[in-house]
Amino acid sequence: MINLKGKHIYLRALEPEDLDFIFEIENDQLVWEISNTISPYSKFLIKQYLENAHKDIYEAKQLRLVICNTEDCAVGLIDLFDFDFKNKRAGLGILIKDESNRQKGFGKEALELLIDYSANHLDLQQLYCNVSEDNKMSLKLFKNHGFEIVGLKKDWNLINGSFKNEYLLQRILK
């Protein structure tokens, strides 16, 4: 059995009951910058997404898992995206929804679990992520887990009328 359980959190597949949780995240304008979202999502569209969430990563080219604390409460999401089986790589994104749950180690544990899953179950060679230059907490998290900055995309994202740089970070797993 694949162990996606840490000391303080576990990762699980999406469930229909996650509709309101995902709806809140996808429509929170404070996190749109992270997800490159420019318009709200309807509950109808999110419900359709959840109905198709059972698809295998090899078919969907992505995997979204819910980060739950030991009280079985959803606290965030962690994603593999742009899954490329041929080249053995995927993008990685993570979000802890409420500020009150940040800096408690949930993201750290979730990242450790997903790195292990990616290397040992999916047999990936590398993971990468894109982080805004001013997102110091995410940069620290990824750097502390072996990700290296391999590039700076200048004026990459237009946020509130100003362009922001974005780092490309990469971790070779094997």
- Alpha-helical (H) ranges within the chain are 19-26, 32-35, 43-51, 57-60, 106-120, 136-143
Closest CA to 108 of 134, 146, 72: 146
Entry pTM: 0.92
Q: Express each pLDDT in 67-117 by its tens digit.
A: 999 999 999 999 999 999 999 999 999 999 999 999 999 999 999 999 999
The DSSP result for 7-32, as a single string, is SSEEEEE--GGGHHHHHHHHT-GGGH
Residue 69 DSSP class: E
In order of 26, 61, 79, the CA distances from 158 in angstroms are 19, 27, 23
Where are the chain's structural domains? 9-128
Is the Cβ–Cβ distance between 8 and 96 less than 8 Å?
A: no
Please determine, for residue 1, whether its predicted confidence score (pLDDT) is greater than 50.
Answer: no
Please determine, for residue 35, whether its predicted confidence score (pLDDT) is greater than 80.
Answer: no
CA angle 17/21/24 to nearest 5° reads 145
Six token digits for residue 92: 């990685």
Q: How far apart are CA 119 and CA 116, in angstroms?
A: 5
pLDDT range class, residue 2, cuts 50, 70, 90: low
Is the Cβ–Cβ distance between 81 and 93 less than 8 Å?
A: yes
Is the Cβ–Cβ distance between 80 and 128 less than 8 Å?
A: no
pLDDT range class, residue 34, cuts 50, 70, 90: confident
In this structure, are strands 9-13 and 89-96 parallel, antiparallel, or unpaired? unpaired
In this structure, the chain runs to a length of 174
Q: What is the pLDDT of residue 53?
A: 84
**Quick check: helix, strand or coil at residue 143?**
helix
Q: What is the pLDDT of residue 101?
A: 94
Q: How far apart are CA 63 and CA 95, in angstroms?
A: 14
CATH architecture of the domain 9-128 equals 3-Layer(aba) Sandwich (3.40)
Q: Express each pLDDT in 149-171 by its tens digit.
A: 999 999 998 888 899 999 999 99
Q: Express each pLDDT in 129-151 by its tens digit.
A: 999 999 999 999 999 999 999 99
Q: How far apart are CA 80 and CA 23, in angstroms?
A: 19
- As a whole number, the mean pLDDT across the chain is 92
